[in-house]
A and B are shown apart, each in its own frame.
Chain A
Amino acid sequence: MFKHKMRKTLTFITILITFAGIIFLLYEMNINTSIQSRNNSRDSILVETLKEALRFQVETVGVRLDGSVIIEDERNDTLSLRNVIGNSPKVILHFSDLSCSACIDIELPRLKQLREAVGEDKVLILTSYDSRRTFEVFRQVSGINSGVYNLRGLKIGLSTEKSQIPSLFLIDSSLVVRSMFIPLKEFPELSDVFYQAMRKRFLEAH
Chain B
Amino acid sequence: MKPTSSRLILIVVWLINVGLVSECGLKKPEGARIHVPEKFDHLLLSEVVDSIRYVPLETCTDCLIGSVTKLLCFENRIYILDRDISKTLFVFDDTGKFLFRLGSKGKGPGEFTRPNDFVLDPAGRKIIVLDQNLSKLSFFDFDGTFLRDLRLGFAPFFIAGVNENTYACYLGYLPFRKQNQIIRSNLVLIDTLGIVKGKFFSYETGKDPLRYYPQTTFYSSPSGTVFIPPLENSVYLVTSSGVSLSYTIDLGIESLPNDYIWSMKPKHELVDELRAYRHSVYNFFETSSWIYFSFFDKKEVASCFYSKVSGEAKAASVIADNIDGGYFAMPTGRWGEELVGVLESVYLTKLKQKEADKKILKLGQKLEKILEGINDVSNPLLVFYRLKEF
> A interface vs B, CB < 8 Å?
12, 15-16, 19, 23, 30-31, 34, 38, 41-42, 44-45, 48-49, 51-52, 97, 101-102, 105, 130-134, 136-138, 140-141, 163
B4 closest partner in A (C-beta):
A12
Residues of A within 8 A of B9 (CB): 15
B204 CB within 8 Å of chain A: yes
Query: Once bound together, how far apart are the Cα atoms of A202 and B9, in whole Å?
Result: 77
Q: When the two chains form the complex, which single residue of A34, A42, A97, A132 contacts B377, counting CB atoms closer than 8 Å? A: A132
Asked if B379 is at the interface of the complex by the 8 Å CB criterion, the answer is yes
A141 in contact with B181 given A41-B208, A101-B83 (CB within 8 Å): no
Among A23, A38, A45, A140, point to the contact of B64 (Cβ < 8 A): A140
Determine the residue in chain B with the shortest Cβ distance to A101. Answer: B84
Name the contact of A133 in the complex, choosing from B19, B181, B204, B377 (C-beta under 8 A).
B377
Binding site for A on B (CB under 8 A): 5, 8-9, 12, 16, 19, 23, 64-67, 82-87, 105, 113-114, 133, 175-176, 181, 203-204, 208-210, 212, 263-266, 268, 344-346, 376-379
On whether A133 and B378 interact (CB within 8 A), knowing A30-B204, A140-B64, the answer reads yes
Q: From known contacts A12-B5, A23-B19, infer whether A137 and B181 are also in contact, taking CB-CB under 8 Å.
A: no
19 examples of A-B residue contacts, CB within 8 angstroms: A15-B8, A23-B19, A38-B209, A41-B263, A42-B176, A48-B264, A49-B266, A52-B266, A101-B84, A105-B114, A130-B346, A131-B344, A132-B346, A133-B376, A133-B377, A134-B85, A137-B65, A137-B86, A138-B85
Q: Which of A12, A133, A140 contacts B345 (CB 8 A)?
A: A133
Give Cα A108 to B23, complex, Å.
Answer: 44
- New contact pairs (5) apart from A101-B84, A105-B113, CB-CB < 8 Å: A30-B23, A97-B67, A102-B133, A133-B65, A141-B87
Check if A41 sits within 8 Å of B268, measured CB to CB: no
Closest to B344 in A: A131
Q: In whole angstroms, what is the CA distance A138 to B8 when docked?
A: 69
Are B345 and A131 touching (Cβ within 8 A)? yes
Return the contact of A136 from the options B5, B64, B176 (Cβ within 8 A). B64
Bound form: Cα–Cα A45–B265 in Å: 8
Which residue on chain A has the smallest CB distance to residue B132?
Answer: A102
Nearest neighbor of B5 in chain A, beta-carbon distance = A12
B203 touches A131 (CB 8 A): no
Contact status A34-B67, CB under 8 Å: no
Q: For the complex, what is the distance from the CA of A133 to the CA of B376, rounded to whole Å?
A: 7
Decide if B379 touches A133 in the complex (CB within 8 Å). Answer: yes
Q: How far is the CA of A90 from the CA of B377 in the complex (A)?
A: 29
Cβ-defined contact, A12 with B8, below 8 A: yes
Contacts of B67 in A (CB 8 A): 97, 134
Which B residue's beta carbon lies closest to that of A133? B377
Contacts of B87 in A (CB 8 A): 141
Residues of A contacting B175 in the complex (Cβ-Cβ under 8 angstroms):
38
**Once the chains bind, are B64 and A137 in contact (CB under 8 Å)?**
yes
Q: Are A134 and B66 in contact (CB under 8 A)?
A: yes
Q: How far is the CB of A43 from chain B (nearest CB, A)?
A: 10
Chain A neighbourhood of B210, CB < 8 A: 41, 45
> How far does the alpha carbon of A192 sit from the alpha carbon of B32 in the complex, in Å?
53
A97 proximity list for chain B (CB < 8 A) = 67
Contact B204 A34 (CB under 8 A): yes
Measured between beta carbons, the chain A residues less than 8 angstroms from B176 are 42
CB distance B346 to A131 under 8 Å? yes
> For residue B85, which residues in chain A have a CB less than 8 angstroms away from its CB?
101, 134, 137-138, 141
Q: Give the CA-CA distance A49 to B270 in the complex, in Å.
A: 13
Alpha-carbon gap, A138 to B378, bound state (A): 15
Chain B residue contacts of A41, Cβ below 8 A: 208, 210, 263-264
Q: Which residues of B contact A130 (CB under 8 A)?
A: 344, 346
Chain B residues, Cβ within 8 Å of A163: 268
Chain B residues with CB under 8 A of A105 = 113-114
Chain A residues contacting B12 (CB-CB under 8 Å) are 16, 19
Nearest-Cβ distance from residue B90 to partner chain A, whole angstroms: 11
Inter-subunit contact B264/A45 (CB<8 Å): yes
A55 shortest CB reach to chain B, Å: 10
Q: Is the CB of A34 within 8 A of B203?
A: yes
A130 to B87, CA, bound (A): 19
A138–B84 CA distance with the chains assembled, in angstroms? 9
CB distance from B1 to the nearest CB of A (A): 11
A16–B265 Cα distance when bound, in Å, is: 45
